[in-house]
Amino acid sequence: MKFCFIINPKSGKERSDRFIRRLKALLERDTLAYEFQITTKPGHAITLAENAASSGLFDRIVAIGGDGTINEVVNGTIRVCMQDKDVPGNYPALGIIPAGLGNDTARGLGIPRGLNHAYTVLIQGSTRYIDVGEVNGRFFINGVGVGYDGAVMSEMYEIRRKGKILSGWIYFKCLMRQFRRFTPPLLRLEIDNNSLPPQRYLLVLTANGIRFGGIFNMTPKAKFDDGLLDILLVEAIPKHTFLLNIPRVIMGKHLSLRQVSYYMSKKVIIKSDNPVPCHIDGESYYNNQFSIRLLPKALKIVAPYPKSLVSGY
């Protein structure tokens, strides 16, 4: 078995050279064949994953980084699978060693933090297929947030672009600052070809996973392998209502709120008259139309036992 490790050196708090030395020691202890490939710019992991998946040289492609790095590796891998038709292909399984800020995708899949624990899952975990979403031609594994959470991630992106190191405290400050600034847009939604009345929404989250923002259990009914997308709609709400219900969102107890609606579907279309902030697996994006669909069992992954696919950590 041969591994291709695609490493984002800017993810996480540990120096990448030290991290690589520790990983190399584990691989050589177990006499495994491997290659390290280091990303140098945004989007680079897509190219590296596409080349690795099409080369036929690797059994597993492993993303080392945060949710954005995982998303790029997923996009590069599935591009190879989808070259001919929209069915799962014979390509390497995706492995994950979380090294980002929130690690939402890894949390949802039950892949633990810490190199040693994640490495154990990579070597000993089971291989299975999970669903993947697609929005405007880009694939995602965890979710797409349109509106408020997109504005939060847009601000985080600008902070990171200026060379600052992101942290949980910075994320919380962005969360509060954007709630004061953000104006809920008027959105028109179609869910499985059923049109909803135009409505101002604080956020519209289309999810495959359950965890967002590191601690929020936004879509508690979601499963990575159930053949459905979970759609969380939150109407514009007063500030005090938002603040009082943050603990409920952390625990996944917010679905009974009057301002919240929840759907499960295979296709979602979101339209706005003006560009709206969005995040795709935590990466900032803007558009005025989002065409989202589900690709069932499109991604082969290495993860712990199946129950961890819905429970996270």
Q: Where are the domains of the chain?
A: 2-124, 143-296
Q: What is the pLDDT of residue 99?
A: 87
Q: Quickly list DSSP for 164-188.
A: PPP-HHHHHHHHHHHHHH--PPEEE
Q: What is the pLDDT of residue 71?
A: 95
pTM for this predicted structure: 0.89
Q: What is the pLDDT of residue 72?
A: 96
Q: What is the pLDDT of residue 86?
A: 45
Q: Which CATH class is domain 2-124?
A: alpha beta
Q: What is the pLDDT of residue 306?
A: 56
Closest CA to 6 of 78, 61, 87, 66: 61
Residues 133 and 131: their CA atoms lie apart, in Å, by: 7
DSSP H helical ranges for 86-143: 104-109, 115-124
Q: What is the largest CA-CA distance in the chain?
A: 60
Residues 294 and 112: their CA atoms lie apart, in Å, by: 26
DSSP H or E segment with residue 244: helix 239-244
Q: What is the pLDDT of residue 305?
A: 61
Q: Which CATH class is domain 143-296?
A: mainly beta
Tens place of pLDDT for every residue, the chain, 313 residues?
899 999 998 876 557 888 999 999 999 999 999 999 999 998 999 999 999 999 989 999 999 999 999 999 999 999 887 764 544 456 799 999 998 777 899 999 999 988 999 999 999 988 989 999 999 999 999 999 999 988 888 888 777 777 676 677 788 888 888 888 889 999 999 999 899 999 999 999 999 999 998 888 999 999 999 999 999 999 988 877 877 888 899 999 999 999 999 999 999 999 999 999 999 998 889 999 999 999 999 999 998 865 544 444 4
Q: What is the pLDDT of residue 13?
A: 59
Q: What is the pLDDT of residue 239?
A: 74
